[in-house]
Amino acid sequence: AQSVAQPEDQVNVAEGNPLTVKCTYSVSGNPYLFWYVQYPNRGLQFLLKYITGDNLVKGSYGFEAEFNKSQTSFHLKKPSALVSDSALYFCAVRDLTGFQKLVFGTGTRLLVSP
């Protein structure tokens, strides 16, 4: 079965520093990977996705993610964190049983301090 793991419940970073939120995956076949962000009391918003092609994917709000097939990872990165980036981040993978079905990780809370 498809799955993703987010090994960190929380990531703390100072404003202006680079940030990384980790995600590893386990899939059969080619992975379709996604990152979503959830701000407090809001629904999830799409950030970026990897389907095929370049291993470095650029997304919304200055975020990017690096797909690494050998390490089965899809880490979310940003060169310079903002306090407004503080939110809950979810990694997800397409489930093989349905084109649009997603399997989500447990989420990582990012806290950016001023």
Partner 1 sequence: NAGVTQTPKFQVLKTGQSMTLQCAQDMNHEYMSWYRQDPGMGLRLIHYSVGAGITDQGEVPNGYNVSRSTTEDFPLRLLSAAPSQTSVYFCASSYSSSTAGNEQFFGPGTRLTVL
- Report the candidate in 52, 44, 85 with the shortest Cα–Cα distance to residue 76: 85
Write down the least CB distance from residue 46 to partner 1, Å. 4
Q: Is 71 a residue that touches partner 1 (CB under 8 A)?
A: no
Q: How far is CA 39 from CA 25, 86, 89, 114, in A?
A: 24, 8, 9, 18
Alpha-carbon span 112 to 110, nearest angstrom: 6
Q: Is 111 a residue that touches partner 1 (CB under 8 A)?
A: no
Binding partner 1 (rule: CB under 8 A), the pick from 34, 63, 74, 89 is: 34
Handedness of CA 14, 47, 37, 75 (dihedral sign): negative
Binding partner 1 (rule: CB under 8 A), the pick from 26, 55, 106, 113 is: 106
Q: Is 77 a residue that touches partner 1 (CB under 8 A)?
A: no
Residue placing its CB nearer to partner 1 in the complex, 68 or 106: 106
Alpha-carbon span 11 to 58, nearest angstrom: 21
Alpha-carbon span 68 to 92, nearest angstrom: 15
Write down the least CB distance from residue 93 to partner 1, Å. 11
Q: How many residues bind partner 1 (CB under 8 A)?
A: 23
Binding site residues, partner 1, CB under 8 A: 9, 32, 34, 36, 41-46, 49, 51, 90, 94, 98-102, 104-107
